[in-house]
Structure 1
Amino acid sequence: MKRKVVSALMVCTTVLTLMGCGGASNGAASSSSGAAPAAGSSTASSAKAAGAEGKNIVFMPKLVGIPYFTTCNDGAQEAAKELGVTCTYNGPTTADAAQQVTMLEDYISQGVDAIAVAPNDPAAMTSVLKKAKDAGILVMDWDTQADPSLTKVSVCQVNDQKFGEHMVDKLVEYMGKDSGQIALVTGGLSAANLNAWIKASKDYIAKKYPKLEIVNNGDPYPTDEKQDVAYSTTKDIMKAYPNVIGILGYSTPTAPGCAEAIRDLGLQDKVSLVANGVEADIQDVLSDGALDCGTLWNTQDLGKITIAVATYLLQGNELKNGEKIPGWDNPIMLSEDGHNVYMTETGSDYEKK
């Protein structure tokens, strides 16, 4: 039986050991050149970082218009203002890799100084990122890895393996049992970070919780990073598999979307839900018990460290493990090969107990 949740909202911090990292329709961007701003874009600039004055960093999310990436941009703009660089935030309005490519082609032709992209489909980015690199543009990825041979660094939020395992443990905790049917709901099927978390979860289930059965032949249900699709998909899952007692949601629209479906179906006491969720976006569904646990990290910090790292590299510096850089308060944590920059040692769980 699903564990009851009755007390006030609290934030639990779980230590995650860091080992690895996992245009037509768009939100047009503004820049310090005086181009007219449009919805879904923002830019911050001033002149404070020696050697980076006037540098333009393109900060591209998978898509604009969802709280996760909006709050990432808040942190990016804060860092840009502090460091004195221009941060151009722009991306497609849907999780469309082809639109990302088209937009990046345009930025390459404009001669921007750096591109930091969260790719919807890493394979689809290969050609355009190679073009950017060959043009002398600093190429980075954040949130999701692209081809590492084409990026100077990857900014990673958490350890993929530990994060995927942690989500499973939380689901079992809330279900109150380690057997039964569960479903996996994801954002886009080509998202490398989501796929890494899903693989980690599935491997962990096979090893530690072999009595759990993942419906849909073990495959995740895609939602295209849309809350309304997560909602309808959850209803479809419960219709096809009425014995499902747990759902794991990968990507932040799944937390409110799946939870609202569970609530509308009156299944709060039957179906446990653990999903990625921005804290400010999941208060209602946590309060009524439709969502048991939202798992994530500080999204503003993810944007902030990305711009801080880009600015530091544009100044001609090289990253060193343990050093501090302007715009980021904590010592830099690098992978053994120096390619991955880790944001934090902790991930946060938002839950009621």
Structure 2
Amino acid sequence: MKKAGMKKLLFSGVFSILMATSAYAQEIVNISKIDGMPWFNRMAEGVVQAGKDTGIKSYQVGPSNTDAPQQVKLIEDLIAKKVSAISIVPNDASALEPVLKKAKQNGIIVLTNESVGQPSADWDIEIIDNEQFAIDYVEEVAKSLGGKGGYVIYVGGLAVPQHNLWADLFIKHQKERYPEMFEVTSRMPVAENIDDSRRTTLDLVKAHPDLKAVISFGSQGPIGAGLAVKEKRLKGKLNVFGMMIPSQAASLIKTGNITMGITYDPATAGYALATVAAKLLKGEPITQDLEIPTVGKAKVDVDKKLLQFHKVLRVTQENINDLY
């Protein structure tokens, strides 16, 4: 082989290796609210699958608790590691803003889930339409209560953006549509802890005889409330609705101690986040016809930097055995 040909072949081989190494070196990292929770374990499955489908290494990390500084530290570590993209489900949107801004300044793509309006996010990705999601809840709760009676809302924390947005929208639509329904007390920040939501439910049942429903915008709240219903034999008297992993809630759904799950599959959120991050890393534009496999077609709002789907899952006694 001539020297010129050998050099060309050698250069081609080295270039291919460099390109492969460069592609492999890219990393997309999703940060959950807390590590080890079934909801976020399921989310991680979607993140990893998207990495396999897009060819960019994608994985999830999470803090040991829901204190905002824990997520801040994880982001700082990922900035130091020089990852390519960070997506996050914030515990406290305001507390995270300075470090997310720092990530952006370091050339890292930033995506959020459940944090519409996060200033430093390139895009926020929502698997459900927030307004319609709240209406879905109002209608299902009203159906069970006959349009009247007291309820309480559980959120993961008073600074968790999405949970509190859903709570605000629920109350708005409840007042417009069913004025004889009412909050027995202000929202409670217990939706991400089974023991806390169980104890809170037991306390509220004693304090408020007019309490007819628990609505949880966090995946552990329905489990705790359902356990309280089971413990005090309140099935049919206290209705429990909420976000959930069907497999975790299965026994309580089957026995009727949880009335209904109104939720979505967190794997779809993980998949959407990592897929959009991969598109941006590859220089692909986000257009109005954006469609993500297994998730669907997005409603793209450029001004709000929002990609919104609506893939609601109702978990009932009738379909629980068919769900993952």
Instruction: Report 1:149-188 matches (<5 A).
Output: 149-175=119-145, 177-188=146-157
**Matching residue of 2:84:** 113
Instruction: Report 1:290-309 matches (<5 A).
Output: 290-309=257-276
Equivalent pair of 2:191/2:221 in contact (CA under 8 Å): no
Structure 2 CA distance for partners of 1:314 and 1:228, relative to 1, 3 Å: same
More helix by share: 2
Amino acid at match of 1:141: T
**Matching residue of 2:228:** 261
Q: Normalising by structure 2, what TM-score?
A: 0.87
Higher relative contact order (Cα pairs below 8 Å, separated by 6+ residues) = 1
What is the alpha-carbon distance in structure 2 between the residues aligned to residue 131 and residue 220 of structure 1? 33
Instruction: Report 1:124-163 matches (<5 A).
Output: 124-145=95-116, 147=118, 149-163=119-133
Query: Cα deviation per residue 1:254-281 (whole Å; 9 max; x = unaligned)?
Result: 1211111111111002111111111221
Structure 1: gaps (5+ residues): 1-46
**Matching residue of 1:27:** none
Amino acid at match of 1:210: P
Equivalent pair of 2:198/2:224 in contact (CA under 8 Å): yes
What is the alpha-carbon distance in structure 1 between the residues aligned to residue 256 and residue 85 of structure 2? 43
Structure 2 CA distance for partners of 1:50 and 1:170, relative to 1, 3 Å: farther
Cα RMSD, aligned residues only: 2.2
Query: Cα deviation per residue 1:216-265 (whole Å; 9 max; x = unaligned)?
Result: 1xx11111611111111111111111221111111111121111111111
Q: Which residue of 296, 315, 323 corresponds with 1:350?
A: 315
Query: Cα deviation per residue 1:59-82 (whole Å; 9 max; x = unaligned)?
Result: 101111111111011011011122
What is the alpha-carbon distance in structure 1 between the residues aligned to residue 44 and residue 117 of structure 2? 20
What is the alpha-carbon distance in structure 1 between the residues aligned to residue 117 and residue 41 of structure 2? 21
**Matching residue of 1:192:** 161
Amino acid at match of 1:252: S
Asked whether 1:209 is paired with 2:174, we answer no
Secondary structure in structure 1 of the residue aligned to 2:312:
strand
Report deviation, 1:330.
3.7
Amino acid at match of 2:27: N
Query: Cα deviation per residue 1:140-189 (whole Å; 9 max; x = unaligned)?
Result: 11233362x311111111111211121121111122x2122211122111
Amino acid at match of 2:94: A
Asked whether 1:282 is paired with 2:249, we answer yes
Q: Normalising by structure 1, what TM-score?
A: 0.80
What is the alpha-carbon distance in structure 2 between the residues aligned to residue 259 and residue 76 of structure 1? 30
Secondary structure in structure 2 of the residue aligned to 1:155:
strand
**Matching residue of 2:187:** 220
Equivalent pair of 1:68/1:252 in contact (CA under 8 Å): yes
Asked whether 1:87 is paired with 2:49, we answer no
Structure 2: gaps (5+ residues): 1-17, 319-324
Secondary structure in structure 2 of the residue aligned to 1:184:
strand
Q: How many residues align?
A: 301
